[in-house]
Amino acid sequence: MLSKDRSLEDSGLRYLPNLNQEKKNTSPNQEIFPLTATVNQQDHLEVGGCDIEVLIEQFGSPLYVLDESTLRTACRAYKESFEKYYSGESLVIFASKAWSCTTICTIINSEGLGFDVVSGGELFTTLKAGVTPEKIYFHGNNKSVEELEYAVESGCKIIVDNWLELENLTKITQNSNNKPVEILLRLTPGIECHTHEYIQTGHIDSKFGFDPTQIEEVFKFVSQQKGLSCIGLHAHIGSQIFELQPHLDLPEVLAKWLLTAKEYGLPIKTINVGGGLGIRYIESDDPPSIEEWVRTVATSVETACKKHGLELPQLIAEPGRSLIGSACVTAYQVGGSKIVPGIRNYISVNGGMSDNPRPITYESLYSCVVANKMSEPCTEKITVAGKHCESGDVVIKDATLPKTEPNDILVVAATGAYNYSMASNYNRIGRPAAVLVNQGEANLFIERETYQNLLERDRIPERLVNSVN
């Protein structure tokens, strides 16, 4: 929100409606910028009480700026909404693939949420942040034997995706004297939603989960394994979803599977409906609120269970993007510019696809502002290009901005999900630093990678060294 004494026209943010208004009971996923965003007396963008220009001076750029208040607000919105709308036990777990690091895990753990991990590295990170294994759920469609052994040893729950995993887990646990390993079975529900094809995971033609035609065979096999205890079923329909109808359909599918599982004596007490709630990246995006999404999921689960005479299971949801996406912005510095007469005007920034690969991967859209010129009128249509040696390295096409100059600060909003976690060292560029801001305090929680960091794992075979000498 911009400060109350600044009008929308003065702010130059005509394409970001309501950003200057006081927000009450706002759902973070419906806001483009963090909830604490304001314009200060220097005409600079502030987040978490910290001037973005000052942060750049202190920590350099590009820079991820994570607002702790917005992240905690989203966590509480999910948790409180489930407590309000679901009569049974519930648990919200963070899909940590959105951004896995110890600081973020620590914050989310302190809010009472659990964690969804999809690799040994994410499991290691979450455990190092002090999360108890009982609150960790290990996903993934191709877990290695080593990862499965690590998961079993750690005591986390394992969401089994396919037959090979079942067979490997059976071998790992068959001679164990420990209590059975708790697993959930991931099943493909056959529900499609309107989102990018790469992030649709619930339709039949998906790499994730057991096919519905295999369900009874899977239930029968699992019921015969003494080392495994099937406590739940999992289904996920996709990501960045604005529709509610698929979430109304999913519980009915899960309820029928629960009835089938009972026939095989499986001690199922949990269903995991995944996540997938979208966030607002640009003005035209209109996602449901966190509360609205939770109400839809919770009431539809209760309705389906009542219809089929089932006791209410523990209900788990695993949001990622909608917890952290809107809590972060990325700040760049403007470099050169180029005018292609009659076609396009470009400015370049000192980052791009190495710190945000989503535009080139998914054609994702973002919003931006010039953080040191917040009240200047937006008079130019500009394409913001990254610095990488790829023609497709474009951060935002046709952004409406004020006139820019070298060293101006361009801030891209809603970069908390899948930006740092998908970042790379393409063109041998180090990944940016990240700072946590809250009530005027800024704390570095990820250091900027240096040139030396880029070489730390390089090795030159001795025979090559000798040949040079």
Cα–Cα distance, 233 to 440 (Å, whole number) = 44
> What pLDDT does 196 receive?
37
**DSSP H helical segments within 331-384, as ranges?**
358-362
Active site residue 389: yes
Q: Write the secondary structure of 19-88 as one string of H (helix), E (strand) and C (coil).
A: CCCCCCCCCHHHCCCCCCCEECCCCCEEECCEEHHHHHHHHCCCEEEEEHHHHHHHHHHHHHHHHHHCCC
> What pLDDT does 23 receive?
58
Cα–Cα distance, 173 to 169 (Å, whole number) = 6
Beta bridge partners of 114: 93
Tokens 């009450």, residue located:
24
How does strand 328-340 pair with strand 63-67? antiparallel
Count Cβ neighbours within 10 Å for each residue of 220-252 and write b for 16 or more, e otherwise.
Answer: ebbeebebbbbbbbbbbbbbbbbbbebbbbbbb
* Position 206 pLDDT exceeds 80: no
* E strands in 341-393: 344-349, 368-370, 380-385
Homologous superfamily (CATH) for 8-67+328-454: Lyase, Ornithine Decarboxylase; Chain A, domain 1 (2.40.37.10)
Does domain 139-319 sit in CATH 3.20.20.10? Answer: yes
Is 12:402 a contact under the CB 8 Å cutoff?
yes
Is 139:159 a contact under the CB 8 Å cutoff?
yes
> What pLDDT does 193 receive?
44
Q: What is the mean pLDDT of residues 429-444?
A: 98
Is 259:215 a contact under the CB 8 Å cutoff?
no
* Position 171 pLDDT exceeds 90: yes
* Position 203 pLDDT exceeds 80: no
Domains of the chain by residue range: 8-67+328-454, 139-319
Name the helix (H) or strand (E) containing 153: helix 145-154
Cα–Cα distance, 147 to 142 (Å, whole number) = 10
Task: Please state the separation of Cα 186 from the chain's center in Å.
Answer: 20
Residue with the larger pLDDT of the pair 176 and 229: 229
Q: What is the mean pLDDT of residues 5-21?
A: 40
Cα–Cα distance, 258 to 266 (Å, whole number) = 9
Q: What is the mean pLDDT of residues 177-184?
A: 92
Cα–Cα distance, 228 to 271 (Å, whole number) = 17
Task: Please state the separation of Cα 155 from the chain's center in Å.
Answer: 24
Residue 341 structure tokens: 């007469």
> What pLDDT does 468 receive?
65
3-class SS of residue 151: helix
Cα–Cα distance, 208 to 230 (Å, whole number) = 18
pTM, two decimals, is 0.92
> What pLDDT does 178 receive?
85
* Position 427 pLDDT exceeds 60: yes
Q: Report percent pLDDT > 90 for the chain.
A: 83
Q: What is the mean pLDDT of residues 250-279?
A: 93
At 365, the pLDDT band (50, 70, 90 cuts) reads very high
At 21, the pLDDT band (50, 70, 90 cuts) reads low
Count Cβ atoms within 10 A of the Cβ of residue 374 and give its class: 0-12 exposed, 13-18 middle, 19 or more buried: buried
Q: What is the mean pLDDT of residues 295-316?
A: 96
> What pLDDT does 200 receive?
40
Q: Per the residue annotation, which of 50, 101, 328, 389 is the catalytic one?
A: 389
At 13, the pLDDT band (50, 70, 90 cuts) reads very low
